[in-house]
């Protein structure tokens, strides 16, 4: 098994607060790697360090053998590492369909392309792909609504669609089901399982243990900026250290 993403000795402090301390993590190709941990543990910060939103104080983030630190966010995106945000970062004034077309264009056009004289109407391939994914996400009947007016759960699914349409090598999911109704959560789990069968590598941050244990091959537990355990779901379930840090002793 080859390693897609390799995080080595990553540190990050905000003022006096150590948000990440000496993080080491290897993500294997085709696997779904879950990162769990209490609020404020540094999970989102870790993803931010991967996609160029934050620059770690120390350490390297190697993606397919190439160090991503210091690279522009758009270059990291084109390298194949795509993030789905925790708080929806959609284009509120555009329609749902347009929201998904944009990442589709990014994938095809690269960081800049002056296609000012081709008509949107002739972009059949990208539209078809977007419609397909919106169908999968159950958003097909909303495609002409403005994205800003959707419910929170629908925005999260749109976020996910925007990530998926880029067919990334590595998808970083930050709490993809937060704020979703049970029914939609199950639907999302099914979708993510299908994607897994197609071989896409994922990092998923989740609080919902049902989601984590249905999807993850490997789980890492983050607490106060440090990884305190990494293992299979069964190993993590039985690990007393994890129960201590994460749930104050309660059963997982």
Ligand X SMILES: Nc1ncnc2c1ncn2[C@@H]1O[C@H](COP(=O)(O)OP(=O)(O)OP(=O)(O)O)[C@@H](O)[C@H]1O
- Tell me which residues touch ligand X (CB under 6 A): 14, 17, 19, 37, 39-45, 86
Minimal distance, residue 224 CB to ligand X, in Å: 9
| CB of residue 119 to another protein, shortest distance in Å | 5
Q: Are 212 and 206 in contact (CB under 8 A)?
A: yes
83 lies in the site for another protein, by CB under 8 A: yes
Retrieve residue 33's tokens.
């790697």
**Choice from 19, 36, 42, 44 touching Mg ion (CB under 5 A):** 44
Structure tokens at 147: 């994205």
In the complex, minimum distance from the CB of residue 78 to another protein, in angstroms, rounded to a whole number = 5
Q: How far is Cα 178 from Cα 151, in angstroms, rounded to an integer?
A: 12
Between residue 84 and residue 103, which ones bind Mg ion under the rule CB under 5 A?
86
Query: Do residues 100 and 162 lie in contact, with contact meaning Cβ atoms separated by under 8 Å?
Result: yes
> Which CB sits closer to Mg ion, 46 or 133?
46
Nearest-approach distance from CB 143 to ligand X, in angstroms: 30
Three-class SS of residue 245? Answer: helix
Contact 110, 136 (CB under 8 A): no
At residue 47, φ and ψ (nearest 5 deg) are -65, -40
Nearer to another protein, 47 or 229 (CB): 47
d(CA 139, CA 155): 10
Site string for another protein, 14-53 (x = CB under 8 A): -------------------------------------x-x
Tell me which residues in 111-170 interact with another protein (CB under 8 A).
Answer: 111-123, 127, 143-144, 146, 162, 166
With respect to another protein, which residue has the nearer C-beta, 102 or 209? 102
DSSP annotation of 122? G
**First-residue to last-residue Cα distance in the chain:** 30
- Residue 12, token pair as written in the block: 């990050």
Residue 66 CB coordination number (10 Å): 11
Residue 115 binding result from Mg ion, another protein, ligand X, none, given CB thresholds of 5 to 8 Å by partner type: another protein
**Residue closer to another protein (CB basis): 39 or 119:** 119
Give the separation between CA 125 and CA 106, rounded to whole angstroms: 14
The residues binding another protein (CB under 8 A) are: 51, 53, 72-74, 77-78, 83, 85, 89-95, 97-98, 101-103, 105-107, 109-123, 127, 143-144, 146, 162, 166
Interface with Mg ion by CB under 5 A: which residues?
44, 86
């Amino acid at each position: 098994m080859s390693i897609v993403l390799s995080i080595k000795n990553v540190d990050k402090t905000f003022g006096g607060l150590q948000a990440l301390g000496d993080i080491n993590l290897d993500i294997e190709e085709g696997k779904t790697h879950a990162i769990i941990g209490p609020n404020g543990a540094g999970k989102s910060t870790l993803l931010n360090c991967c996609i160029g939103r934050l620059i770690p104080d120390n350490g390297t983030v190697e993606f397919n053998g190439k160090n991503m630190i210091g690279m522009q966010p758009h270059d990291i995106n084109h390298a194949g590492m795509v993030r789905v945000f925790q708080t929806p970062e959609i284009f509120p004034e555009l329609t749902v369909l347009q929201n998904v077309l944009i990442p589709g264009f990014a994938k095809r056009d690269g960081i800049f392309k002056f296609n000012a004289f081709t008509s949107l109407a002739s972009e059949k391939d990208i539209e078809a792909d977007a419609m397909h994914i919106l169908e999968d996400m159950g958003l097909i009947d909303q495609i002409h609504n403005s994205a800003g007016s959707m419910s929170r759960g629908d925005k999260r699914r749109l976020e996910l669609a925007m990530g998926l349409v880029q067919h990334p090598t590595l998808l970083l999911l930050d709490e993809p089901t937060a704020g979703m109704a049970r029914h939609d959560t199950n639907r999302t789990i099914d979708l993510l399982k299908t994607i897994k069968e197609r071989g896409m590598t994922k990092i998923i941050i989740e609080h919902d243990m049902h989601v984590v244990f249905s999807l993850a091959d490997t789980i890492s537990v983050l607490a106060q900026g440090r990884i305190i355990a990494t293992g299979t779901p069964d190993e993590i379930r039985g690990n007393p250290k994890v129960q201590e840090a994460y749930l104050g002793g309660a059963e997982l």
